[in-house]
Amino acid sequence: MTESTTVGEHTGPEATTISLSDLLRAPVVASAGETIGRVVDVTVRLRGPDAYPEVTGLVAAMGGRRVFVAARTVDQWRPGRVTLTGNAVDLRSFQRHDGEVLLRADVLGHRLIDVAAAELVRAYDVELEHTGRGWSPVRLDTRRRPRFFGLFGSNDVASVRDWRSFEPLIGDGRSAAARRVAGRVGALKPAQIADLLEDADRAEGFEILDRVRSNPGLEADVFSELDSDKASQLLDGMPDADVAGLLGRMRADDAADAIVDLRQSRRLRVLDLMPAPQRVKVTTLMGFNPDTAGGLMNTDVTTCAATATAGEALAVIAAATTLAPEALLKVHVLDEGAHLVGLVSVIALLQSEPATAVVALMDSDPSRVDAAVDLADVALLMADYDLYLVPVVDDEDRVLGVVTVDDVLQATIPEDWRRREPAPRAVRAARYPS
């Protein structure tokens, strides 16, 4: 380990490093040589996802109190010793400021989001480096040491990685706004965010949700991917109005599942607060057994009249911006009485002239099921006929909804398969210019 020299306005070697573990409990020494305290933490200011945080100072234990020592008053940072430029310090008790992060209290032993792997990892040590303009935390060690708190003697490069590979996930409210700025959680896929939530504890879960709340559509998609127990736990911590707004943005079948998992005392309150069209869809779905086509279906479907042309049918698809993409694979063709008379695929419509009649392109005898058909029978039907979706109809062939292949997969794949640990993969340490 190379020792550092002076910082701030002083000059020193180009690439000096210190581990946080070598600073904690180190003596704070006045310029005259007297030990006046010991390091208990290091303070930093976050500067966004593409920049290293800036070390602003340290917290030292002095005479039974904790005081702040500004970085500009530190002459030398060395493993096991911090030397000041003078002999006096401000003895007022340390008070955390908004946006301030404490490396030991907030990072060490806490979990962060590994953005590339989309998983939560725990930080066991931090490497500080002198960048030429000051000190910054530049690397994290995410592997627990079995016997001692040493840091960078390990050859396990996968566990020692660039600070910027991670998204801070720290519980202190005074740094929440600074942590939210990065915004990289919102770039993950809904299923990846759901996996993070299912691995998170309660405090971590609400912080992750706070990162996606600015994108209501993404938040709804994330809840659609959550297992029922975790979704219920998170919904229990939200006000009724927020729950109703969230469920109002979800697919009706997913919202119905979430409503059923709410405490019975909340269901009616939340339903009453939901937008009327969504409430009707949800209450309709709640009337079906969840293991049947009716309980599984999505009530949002695309339809056109039997008199429509290919161009008009494509316009219906183009206008259906709120529907899930898998529900747009085929258009349901209805007669004047709203009975199902055929299905036409998007591919057939795209490959035809706009003026072509839909009835000339449609399957006039499509597979369909009634709402009481068991999930297993729906799955077998789709497998036997290579179907991506199946209409659900009533006794008069009026369309109630549609079951899509993703619904069937989600319902039939065992839960322990869906959430099993991924195969180990090598993590390449990112290289960033200093």
Among residues 296, 249, 239, 298, the alpha carbon closest in space to that of 269 is found at: 239
> 312-340: string of b/e by CB count within 10 Å (b at 16+)?
bbbebbeebeebbeebbbbbbbbeeeeeb
Measure the CA–CA gap between 182 and 142, rounded to whole angstroms: 21
Measure the CA–CA gap between 117 and 424, rounded to whole angstroms: 11
Q: What is the pLDDT of residues 392-426, one digit of tens each?
A: 999 999 999 999 998 898 888 776 665 555 555 44
pLDDT tens string, the chain, 434 residues long: the values are 333 333 333 334 433 899 999 999 999 999 999 999 999 999 999 887 778 999 999 999 998 899 999 999 999 999 999 999 998 888 889 988 887 889 999 888 888 899 888 899 999 999 999 987 889 999 999 886 554 444 444 445 457 889 988 887 766 655 555 565 556 788 889 999 999 999 988 888 888 888 888 888 899 999 988 988 889 989 988 999 999 999 999 988 889 989 988 988 899 999 999 999 999 999 999 999 989 999 999 888 999 999 999 999 999 999 998 887 888 899 999 999 999 999 999 999 999 999 999 999 999 999 999 999 999 999 999 999 999 999 999 999 999 999 999 889 888 877 666 555 555 544 444 444 44
Q: What pLDDT is recorded for position 9?
A: 36
C-beta separation of 243 from 265 below 8 A: no
C-beta separation of 282 from 247 below 8 A: yes
Domains and CATH numbers, the chain: 1-152 (no CATH), 183-287 (1.25.60.10), 295-415 (3.10.580.10)
Residues of the chain with pLDDT > 90, as a percent, come to 55
Residues of the chain with pLDDT > 70, as a percent, come to 85
Q: What pLDDT is recorded for position 127?
A: 94
Burial (0-12, 13-18, 19+ Cβ within 10 Å), 135: buried
Phi, psi for residue 98 in degrees, rounded to 5: -60, 135
